[in-house]
């Protein structure tokens, strides 16, 4: 599988410029050569909003963008307030939204404006197989398969206010105590990471059992 991850440094509230900068990096790749494209959490709006009032102009209706985004869900009842989520949406090659996930474990920055999602997403997606989604501080995997588990970690770099992001976007595979590193970006590198998990990894980390101490 050919996987691409965008790593860049979006600025809070500067949506148009964030789109422009992201496109400049994404245009380096041929879309026909990519099976899956992953972008960072709240990639175009920025992340460090201090309140619901500050983020309100950037809230999107359900499934209208193709990356991590701040979502507003309208209420069906006039007496109820709308709900807000830190969400991610998966869009297939035809442009159809096929999966939407709402962050379940909120960081303190999220708690200033977002509701907690109902639970973690896992399911089968055509062309990708069994898929699980998570945002930031959430469980990565459980050992429920005998095959290799591919983990895609798409992070941002740069700074937002007082927050500095670590970058190091990476694609790894885990199987039978062995970790394969298919690709990784630098801490401050604004780039598109493209890997093919059918090719040999760049590095391997193998877990060795501890020797038994003799009496």
Mean of the per-residue pLDDT values for the chain?
A: 80
Instruction: Please name the residue that has the structure tokens 């930031």.
Output: 136
- Supply φ then ψ for residue 24, to 5 degrees: -60, -35
Question: 40: burial class by Cβ within 10 Å (0-12, 13-18, 19+)?
Answer: buried
Tell me the C-alpha to C-alpha distance, in Å, between residue 101 and each of 4, 87, 92.
20, 6, 15
The predicted model gives 172-199 an average pLDDT of: 93
Percent of the chain as helix, strand, coil, to the nearest 5: 10, 35, 50
Q: Rounded distance, CA 123 to CA 170, Å?
A: 22
pLDDT tens, position by position, 14-56: 889 988 999 999 998 887 888 888 988 888 888 777 777 777 7
Q: Which domains does the chain have, with CATH numbers?
A: 2-205 (3.60.110.10)
Q: Provide the pLDDT confidence category of residue 204 given band limits of 50, 70 and 90.
A: very high
Instruction: Please name the residue that has the structure tokens 């999602």.
Output: 117
pTM to 2 decimals?
0.75
């Amino acid at each position: 599988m050919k996987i691409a991850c965008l790593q860049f440094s979006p600025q809070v509230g500067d949506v148009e410029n964030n789109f422009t900068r992201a496109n400049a990096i994404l245009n380096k790749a041929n879309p026909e050569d990519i099976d899956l494209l992953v972008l960072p959490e709240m990639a175009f709006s920025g992340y460090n909003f201090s309140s619901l009032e500050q983020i309100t102009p950037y809230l999107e209706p359900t499934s209208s963008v193709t990356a991590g985004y701040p979502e507003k869900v309208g209420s069906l009842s006039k007496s109820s307030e709308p709900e807000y989520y830190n969400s991610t949406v998966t869009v297939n090659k035809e442009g159809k939204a096929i999966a939407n996930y709402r962050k379940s474990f909120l960081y303190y920055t999220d708690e200033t404006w977002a509701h907690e999602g109902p639970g973690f997403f896992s399911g089968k997606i055509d062309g990708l197989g069994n898929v699980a989604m998570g945002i930031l501080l959430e469980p990565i995997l459980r050992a429920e398969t005998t095959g290799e588990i591919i983990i895609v970690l798409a992070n941002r770099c740069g700074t937002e206010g007082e927050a500095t992001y670590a970058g190091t976007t990476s694609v790894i595979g885990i199987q039978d105590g062995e970790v394969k590193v298919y690709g990784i970006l630098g801490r401050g590198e604004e780039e598109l990471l493209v890997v093919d998990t059918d090719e040999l990894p760049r590095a391997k980390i193998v877990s060795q059992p501890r020797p038994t101490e003799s009496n």
